[in-house]
Structure formats: C-alpha cells, structure tokens
C-alpha cells in the first residue's frame, strides 16, 4: 500500500448535504458579488473590504471558529470547499479569505487563553475585524529564525521595534498576530507571538507591493516603532512563538492548497468551455488530440491534487499529525495550478494572452501558490524530513 495513504481508519470523501449547501451558497455569492468586479479590482489593486464584511455575515470569516466564539464551527472539508469555491472565481479574494481564517484567526484560536479568545475571536469570526499575520521580514523569508523584529519587556508592556514584509492585510487589518524576537537570534526558543491591535501607537503600514498577481489581495509592510503592547497580548508563553507558527502553517498549507485547487478548477472550467465553443477547420478545437490531451492531463492532476488536500483535511479534522500530508498537498496542488493555468492560456491561444478572458488572471494568480506560506522547495524539505525520520 502506498505509504501516504496508509491509514487503518480509511478516508471518507463522501460529500455531505451540508457541504453541498455550502458549495452552492459560496458559488452563488461569488457569481453575484465577485465575478462582475474581478478585473476592475485587479487592475486598480483594490482590496474589496465590503466583500469581506458580507462574507462575515455568511459566517465565512470564522469557518473553523467554534460557535461559542461567534464562528461557524465547521471542519476542514467545508473550509476547503469555501476557499476553493471563491478562488475558482477570484484568487485574490480566496487568498485574503484564507489568510484571515487560517493565519491570524487560526493562530488565536489555537494558542490564545480564554480571555484572549473572547476578546478577539468574535470580531474576527463575524468580519467586524480583518486579521493579519506577521512572520516574514525583508531579509528573512524562509530563514525565519533570523528575524530582526524585537519585543523587549518593560514593566507590563512589550516594546516592539522592526518591520514585517509581504503581509496580507498589513494595512487594512484591524489586528495582527506578530512573531517577534524576545530572545537570542537564530534560536526557535527566542521567538514569541504577540497580538497587536491596529490603533496601537507605533504600529503603522509601510509600502504596498505592486504584484504580478493576486492584486486585489492587499500586501504591505507592517512597521513597529517603539510600539507598546500590553504583556497580556502575548499568546502562550514567551519563546513559544516559532513552534506555534509552524503548527499554524501546517493548517495554512491546506489553505494554500485549497486556493491552488480553486484557481486550477477555474482555469480548467474556462478552458473546457472555450475549447467546445472555439471552432477551427470546421470543428471545435476540443476534438483535436493536442487540445483534448491537455484537458485530460488537467482533469487528472486536479483530481489527484484534490485527493491529497482531502486527505490532509481529514487528518486535520481528526487532530492527527498532518505536517507531511499538508506539505504534500500544498506542494503538489500549487504546482498543478501553475501547469493547468499555463495550459489554459495555451488552449485560448492569442485570446488567452489578453485581459478580456479569465485565464490570463488565473495564470498570474497561480504562481503565488508556489511561493506563499513556504515555497515549493521548502515543502520538499519538510516532506523529505518527515519521510526520512
């Protein structure tokens, strides 16, 4: 038996009635509220905050948050459905929704104490607040242990100085979970996680990135200048931040995998439709083997990616170790998204290279999936480390 599928309990990929209802709700919402504005938002790099407020009203800003804290109390299979469903229409909105749910909100849900959960989760889960999460810095991408942002305890307050880069909602986020150095540089035990609210003096937004894709998902610097934060905003104990962040990223990889899946499905659906409508030499181009074989490869790789994602989601739901499986799902699904989007552009030909058709945007958006929340190369390191234990 293939090792990664070895599980005595088996995997149940049955689509529940609740999942069907969620898929329909998400699909209807995306068609009505997102699709008409996709290119307008992309061109203007406009972050559609009003859309996220409406997603909050539907319970989709706190998908995994228990009902006791204002969330929907759903599981990871439903979470995958939501992210993939939104991303199949717009990768930017899918990315922001994933970052809000899995990173900021997910970190607080997993590691905050009860008082902290009741303080922040209801606002995040309902969309009243947008969340951000800060790990990456300008000179410390994959090498996060070398971060320079520091937090020094002075009395009952931490004084934070430094900056974070490539932060989703770094400007519009109302609250951020920030990884800071409270100890020796280069040591996992020297990093802590602190929650910083937007109106805290010394906390500001820096440069906004002008990106290739995902342009309607806000990405900016977060800057901290003698930013004083109550000691009570520390998540867990001092020195636990890096370990917490790695566990959060296990779930975050499922998020990016689901995002990639949605982008791939969106590009594939567009390619299928176009190949049936576009005629050359008196017949639809879908009848040509060169095109039909591309579509066959796309369909097969999408199905394989989804199985890896569903496996990781199943393990996550059952609170079983998921580091290897989530890395596999993220790595494979993100690379599939790029291949599928590339082939979709090829099937559209010259039209695929224009902004009048959707595959051009899927093509640009797909690449981020191989970089964000751990590059494909980092995923291979994680997978290799797990299988060689």
Query: Catalytic residues, which ones?
Result: 373
Nearest CA among 105, 249, 256 for reference residue 177 = 105
Q: Which two tokens stand for residue 49?
A: 């905050």
| Measured CA angle at 137 (ends 246, 372), to 5 deg | 55
DSSP β-ladder status, 234-235 and 191-197 = antiparallel
β-bridge mates for residue 162, sequence order: 224
* C-beta of residue 76 within 8 angstroms of C-beta of residue 222: no
The C-alpha atoms of residue 327 and residue 376 are separated, in whole angstroms, by 9
Classify the C-alpha dihedral 251-255-260-262 as positive or negative. Answer: positive
233 three-state secondary structure: helix
Distance CA 70, CA 78 (A): 17
Q: What is the length of the chain? A: 389
HEC secondary structure over 133-181: EECCECCECCCHHHCCCEEEEECCEEEEEEEEEEEECCCCCCEEEEEEE
Helix (H) or strand (E) holding 250: helix 241-277
Q: Residues near 238 by Cβ (< 8 Å), separated by ≥ 6?
A: 182, 183, 192
CA angle 160, 162, 163 (to 5 degrees): 120
Element of type H or E holding 132? strand 131-134
Segment holding 223, helix H or strand E: strand 219-230
Q: At what angle do helices 359-366 and 323-348 cross, to 10 degrees?
A: 150
């Amino acid at each position: 038996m293939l090792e990664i599928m070895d599980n005595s309990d088996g995997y149940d990929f049955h689509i529940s009635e609740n999942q069907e209802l969620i898929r329909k709700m998400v699909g209807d919402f995306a068609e009505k509220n997102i699709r008409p504005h996709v290119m307008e938002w992309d061109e203007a790099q406009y972050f559609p905050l009003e859309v996220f407020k409406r997603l909050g009203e539907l319970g989709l800003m706190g998908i995994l948050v228990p009902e006791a804290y204002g969330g929907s109390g759903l599981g990871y299979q439903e979470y995958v459905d939501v992210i993939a469903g939104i991303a199949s229409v717009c990768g930017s909105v899918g990315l922001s929704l994933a970052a809000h749910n899995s990173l900021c909100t997910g970190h607080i849900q997993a590691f905050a104490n009860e008082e902290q959960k009741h303080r922040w989760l209801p606002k995040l889960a309902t969309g009243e607040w947008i969340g951000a999460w800060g790990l990456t810095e300008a000179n410390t991408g994959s090498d996060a242990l070398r971060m320079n942002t520091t937090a020094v305890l002075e009395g009952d307050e931490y004084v934070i100085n430094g900056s974070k880069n490539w932060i989703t909602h770094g400007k519009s986020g109302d609250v951020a979970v920030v990884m800071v150095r409270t100890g020796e540089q280069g040591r996992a035990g020297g990093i802590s996680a602190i929650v910083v609210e937007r109106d805290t003096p010394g906390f500001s937004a820096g440069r906004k990135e002008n990106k290739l894709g995902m342009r309607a998902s806000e990405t900016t610097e977060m800057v901290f200048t003698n930013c004083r934060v109550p000691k009570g905003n520390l998540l867990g104990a001092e020195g636990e931040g890096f370990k917490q962040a790695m566990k959060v990223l296990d779930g975050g990889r499922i998020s990016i995998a689901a995002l990639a899946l949605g982008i791939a499905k969106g590009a594939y659906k567009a390619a299928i439709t176009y190949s049936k409508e576009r005629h050359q030499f008196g017949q639809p181009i879908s009848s040509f083997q060169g095109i039909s074989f591309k579509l066959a490869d796309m369909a097969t790789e999408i199905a394989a990616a989804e199985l890896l994602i569903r496996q990781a989601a199943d393990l996550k739901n059952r609170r079983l170790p998921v580091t290897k499986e989530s890395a596999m799902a993220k790595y494979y699904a993100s690379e599939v998204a790029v291949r599928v989007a590339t082939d979709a552009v090829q099937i559209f030909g010259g039209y695929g290279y224009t902004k009048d058709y959707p595959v051009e945007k899927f093509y640009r958006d797909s690449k981020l999936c191989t970089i964000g929340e751990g590059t494909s190369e980092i995923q291979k390191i994680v997978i290799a480390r797990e299988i060689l234990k």
